[in-house]
Structure 1
Amino acid sequence: MSALKVYNSIKRQKEEFIPIFPGHVGMYVCGPTVSGESHLGHARPYITFDVVFRYLTHLGYRVRYVRNITDAGHFEEEGRAAVDKIANGALLEKLEPMELVQKYTNLFHWAMQQFNCLNPSIEPTATGHITEQIAMIKQIMEAGYAYEVNGSVYFDVKKYAAGYNYGILSGRVLEDMLESTRELEGQDEKHAKVDFALWKNAPVEHLMRWPSPWGEGFPGWHIECSAMSRKYLGSQFDIHGGGMDLQFPHHECEIAQSEIAGGELMARYWMHNNMITINGRKMGKAYNNTIKLTEMFAGTNPQLEKPYSPMTIRFFVLQTHYRSTLDFSNEALQAAEKGLARLLAAHETLQSLTYLPGEGLYNEELDKQVTTWCQECPEFMNDDVNTAKVMANLFELTPIINSLKSGQIKMAEISEETFILLKTTWQLYLVDILGIVSEKLNDDNKLNNVLQLLMSMRKEAKARKDYATSDKIRNQLLEMGIQLKDEKDGSMSYSIV
């Protein structure tokens, strides 16, 4: 079998994957900004890297998968003025910032459970690592690549670019960026427009603030991931993942500051999934074209013709190679729904079959074809995690499974060895690696997850003294035969009545 190759964005080519430490893999994936609810576009990286995590584990690696929670920060996104999304969201929803963070972190975790995504090994938060961020900023300043102005600290991009390859990941040219960067609010205190914030001075009205050597303030967006990845994976690790939209400025800035603080390129392999688009345009809040995950599941967004289950969305994401654009449409999701049903039905059928030998029925050509389709699955996964081709082979095998059930193909036409290969391949690739499972089997687990979410929402309502909402949740669940009980320690439980 061929070795695993992945497309390394920083080299712009596929490369054989060789971890720094044999048998061990360190992988960091940029997690959600919990200032609001996750949308369909956010689902793609977390489903994609869940499969990468599963496959590396299947190959026998001991994987430390770190996926952060961004619950603070000064966000500098391309073409838009820098903002603090958490603080802004808290003001809009009339919540304490950490109350907002908890609300959307809970909702994110719930959505990941619906998608059957495995939990990361470590899930650090930006607010839990302020000390590490300050320490890294001090290192960068001591090395002479950052400067302080009015209590804010900025990374000196022009000085870095003079000795290092700024643009190594994104392909951006500094001179072009200096010409094209727009004048935005707060740019006047920087030495150059391209410099980015490591730490921002907090104005009086700013809710989220921490003490630092430069006064009270809050971190820049990029420094958070650099500090957390270094703490848990070291100054250099194997894989850094995320959406293609993060290549610039986020990942490019991570590389620059981490190289100065750590002395080497922070990650050896950079993996980026492409975007989900609607009518050819990237799905994003800035474009006002997002579909929240709860809207997907309930079918409540005007762009949806019907609800789509979490497993349909997972199937929809994985049927296309992760580096290809995936365009949303109701037709595509309904086709995914039908395809998912076919594969799950074939899986159920295959599990019910038992090998029955027979004389004189062996079909060498059929046996060879089944074996080939099964044996190609690991080859496809080793070719830059090509889930689309794996799915295509599972669809090729589906009519054979159905024909074995109906008797149109006699069991003895394939060898017992091939039958066992078929059965193990199906379980391994559909369920264990692609993570696609029957939603019927998860109904009890789903009910529990929904109830946990409702109890969390009721607890939040009570905390902000919104007793009307709290009572509504309790009373409507009681009408459905589910009784909530407030425990003495402040938690809640439920029972079926």
Structure 2
Amino acid sequence: MFYKDNTLKIYNSLSGQKEVFTPIHEGKIGMYVCGPTVYNYVHLGNCRTFISFDLVFRYLKHLGYQVRYVRNITDVGHIVDDADAGEDKIAKKARLEQVEPMEIAQKYTVNFHNVLKQFNNLPPSIEPTATGHIIEQIHIIEGIIANGYAYEVNGSVYFDILKFNQDYNYGELSGRNIEDMISNTRDLDGQSDKRNPLDFALWKKAEPEHIMRWPSPWGDGFPGWHLECTAMSTKYLGKHFDIHGGGMDLKFPHHECEIAQNEACTGNSPVNYWMHTNMLTLNGKKMAKSTGNNILPQELFTGENDILSKAFSPSVVRFFILQAHYRSILDFSDEAISASEKGFYRLMEALRNLKEIKPSENSTIDVQSWKQKCYDAMNDDFNSPILIAHLFDAVKMINLLKEEKETISKSDLENLSVTMNAFVFDVLGLVDETQESGKTTNKLEEVVDLLIDMRNEARANKNFALSDEIRDKLLAIGIQLKDGKEGTSFSL
């Protein structure tokens, strides 16, 4: 139970500061993360959020916590432009592709799972769907109406923001003032049923042409987008749980509405720690399909895109994402991902070299101090870039040990090895792809050895131009030759 020896601090979006993490139930954590609306292929910005919370999940488990991680699938109720009126995103896609809405949901749910599997994300403990929890959503609406914070009009039910704000504080998560919000809103087409433009839908009446519909006390309809997460999080984590996460774009109105719904229904704020990931940009600009400034994970892995110079593996992309703190903006570019790839291979090479280190009677390096720095980084709001910096300090130590410029005792070597493997593979979730594909690695080694022989022959014949060309071209693809007393070796 490492957690008893570690003081973890989490930046709480609700308070705007880092707070010491104290779970509601000792040794157990309930965490909910808003999952995708499955109407299209998952994009890289979405993946950053899910990789970030996979890191959180992994580290909490590493500390010895029993974690129930709930991440939903939104397969109904998410209206185009996040509005209360209009066409459901999944229904619209189904109409365009001329298939059933659930075919769309299934197709893109499978894509979502496949992509996250490639990124080596752990599956959540529970993955509920919105359509599978219609009854729970209806019960919550009935409770909110009974408490006086919602009203029904023409088969639709709306949350009464002004009534709610008399007893609670709508806007506390996003730091918005309700008077300012009111002054900046206007009645839009399709919102005439609302008492106030700020009011949001808990249940929408289904028009005759609307395919996705369920019976309710107010007539056939479908749930509001915000309500779904309230129903699924509280069903599996209780009315009060530890952590709720998502992208910063969900802070308002989605998460703000979740808090309001819970308070209106139960009288209590649902979550102790709200966590939000920042955005991923591409070449300094916001990712957007409409402008073409966008790249899908599969396009990254195959190299079939007009943005990058080559293909990059899922583990390299994951490493790149984790080199930035989850709350900072991260810009994706060919230059940045290429630099990350070199760092990733240096880290993997060091881990392979670590297996060959022979222990001495004593140590000239301080492993315990280095290990504590690794934990200190992760205990400071899951600071993965600082952790990675400390891991590269270990890379330097390993290289010095390999060159026999430093020594390490058997116990320190074991400590170093266990800690490095734990943080690299268990916590960061990286995969040594050269080990995963041993046959490919062996063939690569054979090819490079052949090129080294050709280079040695060129040098013997004083054909230094060819010798330098072989060395430089290998270096350009990330393979570095090292000339030593015992001949030429290479590293990736």
Q: Structure 2 length normalisation: TM-score? A: 0.84
- Which amino acid letter does the alignment assign opposite residue 374 of structure 1? K
Contact kept? 1:244, 1:272, Cα under 8 Å: yes
Per the alignment, do residues 396 and 80 of structure 1 end up closer, same or farther by CA in structure 2, a change over 3 Å counting?
A: farther
Q: How far did 1:280 drift?
A: 4.0
Q: Deviations over 1:264-306 (max 9, x none)?
A: 1111000111111124443345765332222222222332332
Structure 2 counterparts to residues 355-434 of structure 1, below 5 A: 355-357=358-360, 364=364, 367-368=365-366, 370-405=367-402, 407-410=403-406, 413-434=407-428
Q: Deviations over 1:179-215 (max 9, x none)?
A: 2125433122111111111111111111111111111
Q: Secondary structure at the match of 1:165?
A: coil
Q: Secondary structure at the match of 2:415?
A: helix
Q: How far did 1:95 drift?
A: 1.5
Q: Which residue of 2 aligns with 1:193?
A: 197
- Which amino acid letter does the alignment assign opposite residue 91 of structure 2? A
Structure 2 counterparts to residues 110-149 of structure 1, below 5 A: 110-149=114-153
- How many percent of aligned residue pairs carry the same amino acid? 56
User: Does the alignment pair 1:353 with 2:349?
Assistant: no
Q: How far did 1:336 drift?
A: 1.1
- Which amino acid letter does the alignment assign opposite residue 172 of structure 1? R
- Which amino acid letter does the alignment assign opposite residue 327 of structure 1? D
CA distance in 1, matches of 2:410, 2:219: 72
Contact kept? 2:45, 2:280, Cα under 8 Å: yes
- Which amino acid letter does the alignment assign opposite residue 359 of structure 2? L
CA distance in 1, matches of 2:332, 2:295: 10
Q: How far did 1:81 drift?
A: 6.7
Per the alignment, do residues 288 and 178 of structure 1 end up closer, same or farther by CA in structure 2, a change over 3 Å counting?
A: farther
Q: Which residue of 1 aligns with 2:63?
A: 59
Contact kept? 2:244, 2:273, Cα under 8 Å: yes
CA distance in 2, matches of 1:233, 1:303: 42
CA distance in 1, matches of 2:430, 2:183: 48
Structure 2 counterparts to residues 73-112 of structure 1, below 5 A: 73-75=77-79, 83-112=87-116
Per the alignment, do residues 77 and 7 of structure 1 end up closer, same or farther by CA in structure 2, a change over 3 Å counting?
A: farther
Per the alignment, do residues 146 and 308 of structure 1 end up closer, same or farther by CA in structure 2, a change over 3 Å counting?
A: same
* 334-343 vs 29-38, which moves further: 334-343
Q: Deviations over 1:217-268 (max 9, x none)?
A: 1111000000000100000100001111110010000000111112211110
RMSD: 1.9
Structure 2 counterparts to residues 197-236 of structure 1, below 5 A: 197-236=201-240
Unaligned runs of 5+ in 1: 445-497
Q: Which has the larger radius of gyration?
A: 2
User: Does the alignment pair 1:438 with 2:442?
Assistant: no
Per the alignment, do residues 78 and 88 of structure 1 end up closer, same or farther by CA in structure 2, a change over 3 Å counting?
A: closer
User: Does the alignment pair 1:248 with 2:252?
Assistant: yes
Unaligned runs of 5+ in 2: 439-492
Contact kept? 1:77, 1:249, Cα under 8 Å: no
User: Does the alignment pair 1:162 with 2:156?
Assistant: no
Q: Structure 1 length normalisation: TM-score? A: 0.84
* 174-183 vs 86-95, which moves further: 174-183
Q: How far did 1:175 drift?
A: 1.1
Q: Secondary structure at the match of 1:291?
A: coil
Q: Which residue of 2 aligns with 1:481?
A: none
Contact kept? 1:76, 1:221, Cα under 8 Å: no
Q: How far did 1:374 drift?
A: 2.2
- Which amino acid letter does the alignment assign opposite residue 337 of structure 2? L
